[in-house]
């Protein structure tokens, strides 16, 4: 009976994680890896490989719907993704020189604090504050430009240099800590770059499609993708992505996106701490 229960639990867990991840633009991989290790007993390599394989169909489905609805900003995706590749290489190189464990704890605490901040932030700031502050000034520097989405009748101003720097920064964090940057990109696009929520979450999921395909290919060749462990999760993530995209059409019935993203960041920060504790435990066992 266990050979049926475990795959069903994987499908259900993948569905829940992917639906929430698709809704807020995180993807869900940051939550899934520790769940697979703690509750399903996956070795860490297989947990990462299975999570990467599951995100491919989920990101593909979400990106298909978002492409059809004209919600993806491909220019912003490129300005973030390509610098992020270089940042990932730098981050992996810095691992040998920096106290990674201490930095991970600091970063996880920072993510939790930002999550709490979003949970307590008013949805619409006073009009007197919308056109002031450092981010407003930066968005009007010489490298700034206006993006227009004619189908959605939307326009927003971005600073190209700032977006490129942010892409490089998230890539460096990903390489340094061995995590995905999706849960950083979405809130930054909304809160820092002030992009419309649907455009930000859709663009983040499109970036995830590229990174998940690359990650899946790498882990497949390394032998970390075990199909009987990955396929139920892939099915769950695909169903969850469909559910998450459908839920976006019922915005009026959902909690505020700020709350959902804040909750996601809080959970991501707690997940990072669990990951750190697990890694520290493995290192402790190895040393003895």
- Tens of pLDDT, residue by residue over 5-47, are 889 999 999 999 999 999 888 888 778 888 888 888 888 788 8
How would residue 134 be classed by pLDDT, with cut points 50, 70 and 90? low
**Of the candidate ranges 193-197, 261-265, 273-277, the one whose mean pLDDT is the lowest:** 273-277
* pTM score, whole prediction: 0.83
pLDDT at 270: 87
Tokens of 256: 């505020």
**Nearest in space to 167 (alpha carbons), one of 93, 73, 244, 82:** 82
**Tokens for 41?**
């007993």
**What pLDDT shows up at residue 129?**
45
pLDDT band at residue 258, thresholds of 50, 70 and 90? confident
Taking CA atoms, 103 is separated from 30, 34, 42, in Å, by 18, 19, 26
Percent of the chain's residues with pLDDT above 90: 28
- Within 8 A by CB and 6+ apart from 65, the residues are 245
User: Which stretch of 66-70, 139-143, 187-191, 275-279 has the lowest confidence by average pLDDT?
Assistant: 139-143
Please tell me whether residue 195 adopts helix, strand or coil conformation. coil
3-7, 96-100, 281-285, range with the lowest pLDDT? 281-285
DSSP bridge partners of 159:
144
pLDDT digits (tens, 9 = 90+) for 167-189: 999 888 887 776 767 788 888 88
CB 220 within 8 A of CB 49: yes
Mean pLDDT within 71-76: 94
* 3-state secondary structure at position 265: helix
pLDDT per position as a tens digit, 107-119: 888 888 888 887 7
User: Is it the case that residue 50 has pLDDT exceeding 70?
Assistant: yes
């Amino acid at each position: 009976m266990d050979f049926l229960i475990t795959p069903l639990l994987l499908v259900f867990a993948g569905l829940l994680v992917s639906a929430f991840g698709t809704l807020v633009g995180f993807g869900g991989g940051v939550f899934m890896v520790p769940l697979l290790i703690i509750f399903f007993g996956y070795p860490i390599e297989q947990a990462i490989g299975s999570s990467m394989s599951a995100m491919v169909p989920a990101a593909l489905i979400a990106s298909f719907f978002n492409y059809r609805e004209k919600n993806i900003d491909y220019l912003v995706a490129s300005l973030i993704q390509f610098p992020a590749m270089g940042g990932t290489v730098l981050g992996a190189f810095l691992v040998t020189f920096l106290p990674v464990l201490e930095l991970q704890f600091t970063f996880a605490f920072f993510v939790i604090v930002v999550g709490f901040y979003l949970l307590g932030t008013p949805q619409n700031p006073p009009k007197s504050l919308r056109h002031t502050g450092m981010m407003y000034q930066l968005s009007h520097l010489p490298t700034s430009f206006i993006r227009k989405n004619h189908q959605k009748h939307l326009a927003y101003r971005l600073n190209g240099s700032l977006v490129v720097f942010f892409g490089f920064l998230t890539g460096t964090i990903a390489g340094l800590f061995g995590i995905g940057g999706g849960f950083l990109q979405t809130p930054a696009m909304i809160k820092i770059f002030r992009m419309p929520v649907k455009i930000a979450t859709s663009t983040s999921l499109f970036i995830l499609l590229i990174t998940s395909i690359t990650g899946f290919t790498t882990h497949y060749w390394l032998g970390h993708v075990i199909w009987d462990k990955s396929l139920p999760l892939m099915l769950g993530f695909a169903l969850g992505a469909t559910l998450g995209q459908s839920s976006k059409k019922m915005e009026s019935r959902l909690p505020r996106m700020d709350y959902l993203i804040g909750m996601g960041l809080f959970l991501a920060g707690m997940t990072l701490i669990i990951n750190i504790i697990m890694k520290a435990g493995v290192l402790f066992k190895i040393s003895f």
